[in-house]
Amino acid sequence: MRIVFLSYTFLFSLLFTEGMSQENYDLLTWKSEYTLRTHLLQKMHTQYDLRKVNIEEALESKENMLAYREECRQKYLAILGEFPEKTPLNPQIINTKKLDNYRIDNVLFESRPNHHITSNFYIPVGNGPFPAALFFCGHEMTSKATESYQKTAALFATNGIAVLVVYPMSQGERVQFTDENGQRILRGSTTEHTLLNAGANLVGNSVVKYELYDNVRSMDYLISRSEVDPGRIGCLGNSGGGTQTAYFIGFDDRVKVAAPCSYIARRERNFELSGAADGCQHIPFEGDVQLEIGDFLIMFAPKPLLILAGRYDFVDYTGSKETAEELQIVYSILREKEKFKFFTFDDGHGISKPKREAAVQWFRYWLCNDNSVIIEGNQEVLSEQELNCTPNGQVNELFPSEISVQEINLEMAKTLTENRNRFREMNDLTGYRQKIKELLSIDEKNKLVSPELTGEEFHPEYTLQKYILRKEGEIPLPVLFYEPRVSSSDNEIIIYIMEEGKSEIAANHSLIDSCMQRGVVLVLADLRGMGETEEKEDANDKKYYNREYNNAMISLHLNENLTGQRLTDLFTLLDFIEENRKYKQNPVRIFASGAAGPVALYAAVFNSQIQSLSISNSIQSYFDILNDPMGLDWYSYVVPNVLKYFDLPDLIHLRNDLMLNFTELKTEQ
């Protein structure tokens, strides 16, 4: 392997030394910025069509439904992966505040060593042990101090049910991205969750999994309290806490009754209507194994389940109703229809007074055999400072040895070094190729290329052919093919797959002329999501730090990450070149930038015709993402589970004959 840092630089400089003309090099004749999203949504619908067939069969009998429920649980466990071994909680009651009908303990404990959870434990007045509930907060930065959450917990406590209100990561006292003074540096929890999720995916984890594990440890703490009856435990949450509730109740058998609020809908509709949402809202591969949001609730059935919804919530109410209707049938099939209820109020997002009252009445009935009507009176609301477990509002500031989630991700990647070394020792090039195809969902057998020649230009020294390349089931690939008048099998084929798109290169006539005079075949292509098929700037919320966030997340949902899809595009291009016998043996040099960089490197593992790579403004290792979690566009590079097997430098060592040039490491924020 020769890594060259100065060779070929002149070709990059040529790109930007000549003024760019206004010529149009687009080949696709439709509104191509929607192409990738449309393609992904069509694949998603296909996956969920399979789910519809399965659920219809399950609804035919109780036996079928029980088998379907168990199948869902096994799929869920498979995509979650293994959890760490439990360690001591080391709980501390920081402060206690007594109110009229209950008291509040401010409690601090460790879900894993040096990683703290802050919480408030609302305990009724009287003799226990009491029934109890876990309450998971939504994405408000105030979290457990949010007024509606305080009132929810107080209403439970005044009606004889203890409540542990848990701060999620990235909120309240558990902000992960803080400065040297312990103050948060990002706009909010949803941005933090999303940035943390990218690094977690690389090591086979997710923010959903981290929150789930924190909640399991919160349950461990709750049932350890002498005031609590461990046989009568419920769980509820609002918004992002509703998400946590859905993921938790089918996983932890200790939950006996549940009430998710302002979350339950249809994943299929959500992706189509509003996009992917935050990084804590889904796990990679859910679509691939056909798990809908309702399936996480079916895993809980037939235990008592109340879905709380607002008719005018931004959470899709049609999806909420569809899921509720499906669950009503599920509970009927399981002969427990009285244990399911769908409560709607004419309001919007959040756990409002009517929803709180409905939740407490539901829990009182199933945990206490009491169906009394619940009416909320005036509830005292405390300040955030009174509910905090830390003097200055952040565990990062209180504990110098506190381990953040980004450090957990990085430490996990380092721990996996032994796995990667073992994989390298046990596998040759063939083994790596097989694992790459698995991780990137590559179908190497799909080689039939259908080229459409859309135009041709004849110049004194070369011919420009404009192609749209198609493979069955894949996005059309627009290609500019520059063929010099004089060429031979010894001359290079230079391929540009630039994140900026092919038009910038095509407009640089100095570059074109330089290649043609040397007899070089020049090929310019727009991989999917780049150039002609790049989405408009406003298609993705900037809070996610990614210009193609929705497409990246839907791709992970489908088990077809963007890197793998783009590698498929590059294979299409290489297959097209190979079909031209005239250039079947020519050495290939690839210039790639941004997210196309790793794509070129993966291609070199499969194709020995590729003799050199020059990669600009990209990553050299997946550790670049872990070391700089606030970098831009990281989801464009994410391959889930990849660091269990190899890193990009491992691929470089597979091709000792490859000339490689890296420039301008991508680290901008």
* pLDDT tens digits, 450-466: 999 999 999 999 999 99
All structural domains of the chain, each given as residue ranges with its CATH number in brackets, are 2-30+422-663 (3.40.50.1820), 79-414 (3.40.50.1820)
Pairing of strands 610-616, 588-593: parallel
* pLDDT tens digits, 509-519: 999 999 999 99
pLDDT above 90 (res 603):
yes
- 8 A C-beta contact, residue 178 and residue 185: yes
| Average pLDDT value over all residues in the chain | 94
Angle at 571 between CA 568 and CA 577, to 5 degrees: 150
* pLDDT tens digits, 308-344: 999 999 999 999 999 999 999 999 999 999 999 999 9
**Distance, first Cα to last Cα, the chain:** 31
Pairing of strands 450-458, 462-470: antiparallel
- Residue 258 is classified by DSSP as E
- 8 A C-beta contact, residue 200 and residue 168: no
* pLDDT tens digits, 94-112: 999 999 999 999 999 999 9
Question: What pLDDT is stored for residue 22 in this prediction?
Answer: 53
Angle at 98 between CA 226 and CA 233, to 5 degrees: 35
Cα–Cα distance measured from residue 264 to residue 342, given in angstroms and rounded to the nearest whole number:
11
Question: What pLDDT is stored for residue 526 in this prediction?
Answer: 98
Alpha-carbon separation of residue 514 from 205, 293, 482, 520 (angstroms): 48, 56, 12, 9
- 8 A C-beta contact, residue 82 and residue 644: no
Residue 99: which of 375, 364, 381, 389 has the closest Cα?
Answer: 381
Cα–Cα distance measured from residue 624 to residue 643, given in angstroms and rounded to the nearest whole number:
12
Question: What pLDDT is stored for residue 444 in this prediction?
Answer: 78
Cα–Cα distance measured from residue 374 to residue 131, given in angstroms and rounded to the nearest whole number:
17
* pLDDT tens digits, 55-72: 999 999 999 999 999 999
596, with CB counted inside 10 A (0-12, 13-18, 19+), is: buried
* pLDDT tens digits, 170-206: 999 999 998 887 788 988 899 999 999 999 999 999 9
What sign does the CA torsion over 348, 349, 353, 357 have? positive
Confidence of residue 251 (pLDDT cuts 50, 70, 90): very high
Cα–Cα distance measured from residue 227 to residue 124, given in angstroms and rounded to the nearest whole number:
9
DSSP bridge partners of 163: 122, 133
Question: What pLDDT is stored for residue 2 in this prediction?
Answer: 44
